[in-house]
Structure 1
Amino acid sequence: MIFSMTGYAIAIQETPHGSFTLEIRSVNNRYLDVQFRLPDDFRKQEPAMRELLATQLSRGKVECRLNFSPSTQAESDQQLDNALLEKLLLLQRTIKTHHPAAPSLTVAEILKWPGMLGNDHSPIEESGEIGIALLQTALEDLKAARIREGDKLKAILLERLNQIRQLLIAASPRIPTLIAAFEEKLRTRLEEILGTQEDERIHQEISLFAGKIDVDEELSRLQAHLDEVERILNKGGSVGKRLDFMMQELHREANTIGSKSVDLEISRISMELKVIIEQMREQVQNIE
């Protein structure tokens, strides 16, 4: 299988305290780059979550976001501890007596004070290893999405390989035709200028011309590279970096063919090759 680096998944878990939602999305990247957005009470689970993610993915920029929405019932059950509030305010007045410039507690700070709402434990903290469980579920969906996208990329790349092969078939007969046309033109010119045809000189000139425009070696290497790309695609796995290297090799050969061209059709074929290879390279950037 071919794995895309692009994907999205979401996992939701309902608890008596509220709803936990974990979203994970990934895009292409040269290496594995993981970013977490977690509630403070989940920070202690981050190392384990990061390790789990690293065992499942090898490349991509991955963002993992966990949100908690308290249930209406949980919020209504919260009761303000009036005794603790009075004690806290008394301590504040005492401090201000000695330090008048000290800032006063805000309402948000008072409500977050341990035990102020009758529970010293965060509902998130009481939920144990739910972050790990949600991540495992989301990762399975993410991998499935990346496989589906990878199948599409593979089909696109195989189609591009066939297009390149068709161009190579069109290019192969052009060189002998060009050499034959050059020989005929040379014989005619010599006949016009010298009144005779010097076979030895014609042979030398044809050899030089053929050496300059001969792209058989480049065409052969291109065909070998195409076979290797197809083999890599069929093998599957984490092949993105290998395919990226092969795109460079394909482009190098296509560029050489263009530089040797003395024929408009060969020049056109070279340009078409480079366009298709660039399209392939863009797709390959999304493969793990």
Structure 2
Amino acid sequence: MIRSMTAFAGNEAEIGNLTLSCELRTVNHRYCDISFKLPDRLRFMESDLRALIAAKIKRGKVECIINSKKQANDGQSLVVNHDAVAALLAAANEIEQQMLAPLSFSALEVLAFPGIQQESDNDREQLKSGVSALVGQTLGQLLEVREREGAQLGELIAERCLKMQEFVTSAGKRMPEVLLQLRSKLKDRITELVAEPDFDRLEQELVFLAQKLDISEELDRLETHITEVLRVLKQKDPVGRRLDFLMQELNREANTLGSKSADKEMTQISIELKVLIEQMREQIQNVE
């Protein structure tokens, strides 16, 4: 089953005296690109969270946003980083000496500075475990969305593959009639130009033209690539890049088929094939 690269999932959890919300967004990208927006108290977890997400997502641009807010005071006391307070006051005193009119600030303003409040060791471990579980749960929901959308993309691509097979079959059936019409036109034309045409030489020319206009190899390769696309769609591993390559190969054969077209119907078949390939290419841009 293929996966889409576009999805969203969000969750909330209460961890200690905090309420945390996690949002995961993914869009299409050539590689796996993971970015974070985390509160300062969770910066120490960024590498672990990156590894957690990268283990499940192989392709796409991923944005992980985690917000936190303290719950109403439940009797727990604040843990103050006294070294950070001392450093902050010393820096403020140094700056005030250079000011004409120093401004005072309150203890609450000091507490609001990053790094002044700190988590105890027990709180830190609880936070790490809780956040990992929250992100893991959200990631699971995100993957479910990617799989659902991927299944829809797979159906659309498979439908177009089956339609392409119909056009390839039509082209194969049409080719003998095209060669017969070409043979007839050439004979008529030469008969008009030469009173006594050399039909042996004409047969040689017809063999040469038939080889030049033979599209059997292109039709065989188109059929092979279409079969491969349908096979790849059933794989569980990320297949977006392989499908990209197959679209290039299909387009190359469709272009060659168009260049060898000898009548209006064959040209139209080539155009229809290229339209279907382009539609599939657009869908595959969003496949992991």
TM norm structure 1: 0.84
Q: Secondary structure at the match of 1:2?
A: coil
Map 1:197-276 onto structure 2 (within 5 A). Answer: 197-276=197-276
The Cα offsets for residues 138-187 of structure 1, whole Å up to 9 and x where unpaired, read as 11111111111111111111101001011112211222112111221222
CA deviation after TM superposition for structure 1 residue 235, in Å: 2.6
Counterpart residue number, 2:97: 99
Counterpart residue number, 2:281: 281
Counterpart residue number, 2:61: 61
- Judged with a 3 Å threshold, the aligned counterparts in structure 2 of structure 1 residues 28 and 114 are, in CA distance, closer, same or farther, namely closer
Counterpart residue number, 1:23: 23
- Judged with a 3 Å threshold, the aligned counterparts in structure 2 of structure 1 residues 113 and 222 are, in CA distance, closer, same or farther, namely closer
- Judged with a 3 Å threshold, the aligned counterparts in structure 2 of structure 1 residues 153 and 105 are, in CA distance, closer, same or farther, namely farther
- Judged with a 3 Å threshold, the aligned counterparts in structure 2 of structure 1 residues 223 and 99 are, in CA distance, closer, same or farther, namely same
Q: Percent identity?
A: 39
Q: Which 5+ residue runs of structure 2 have no aligned equivalent?
A: none
The aligned amino acid for 2:210 is A
Counterpart residue number, 1:50: 50
Counterpart residue number, 1:128: 127
- Judged with a 3 Å threshold, the aligned counterparts in structure 2 of structure 1 residues 175 and 78 are, in CA distance, closer, same or farther, namely same
TM norm structure 2: 0.84
CA deviation after TM superposition for structure 1 residue 265, in Å: 1.4
More divergent stretch after superposition (231-240 vs 220-229): 231-240
- Judged with a 3 Å threshold, the aligned counterparts in structure 2 of structure 1 residues 97 and 166 are, in CA distance, closer, same or farther, namely closer
The aligned amino acid for 2:285 is Q
Instruction: Quote the RMSD (CA, aligned, Å).
Output: 3.3
CA deviation after TM superposition for structure 1 residue 200, in Å: 0.6
The Cα offsets for residues 196-237 of structure 1, whole Å up to 9 and x where unpaired, read as 453212212211221222111101110011111111112332
- Judged with a 3 Å threshold, the aligned counterparts in structure 2 of structure 1 residues 184 and 74 are, in CA distance, closer, same or farther, namely same
Q: Secondary structure at the match of 1:217?
A: helix
- Taking the aligned partners of 1:234 and 1:218, their CA distance within structure 2 comes to 25
Q: Secondary structure at the match of 2:132?
A: helix
- Judged with a 3 Å threshold, the aligned counterparts in structure 2 of structure 1 residues 114 and 281 are, in CA distance, closer, same or farther, namely closer
- Judged with a 3 Å threshold, the aligned counterparts in structure 2 of structure 1 residues 178 and 120 are, in CA distance, closer, same or farther, namely closer
Give yes or no for contact 2:40–2:114 (8 Å, CA) kept in 1.
no
The Cα offsets for residues 264-285 of structure 1, whole Å up to 9 and x where unpaired, read as 2111111111111111111112
Map 1:146-157 onto structure 2 (within 5 A). Answer: 146-157=146-157
Q: Is the counterpart of residue 74 in structure 1 residue 73 in structure 2?
A: yes
Give yes or no for contact 1:23–1:64 (8 Å, CA) kept in 2.
yes
- Judged with a 3 Å threshold, the aligned counterparts in structure 2 of structure 1 residues 105 and 175 are, in CA distance, closer, same or farther, namely farther
Q: Which 5+ residue runs of structure 1 have no aligned equivalent?
A: none
- Taking the aligned partners of 2:269 and 2:69, their CA distance within structure 1 comes to 59
Q: Is the counterpart of residue 39 in structure 1 residue 39 in structure 2?
A: yes
Aligned length: 277
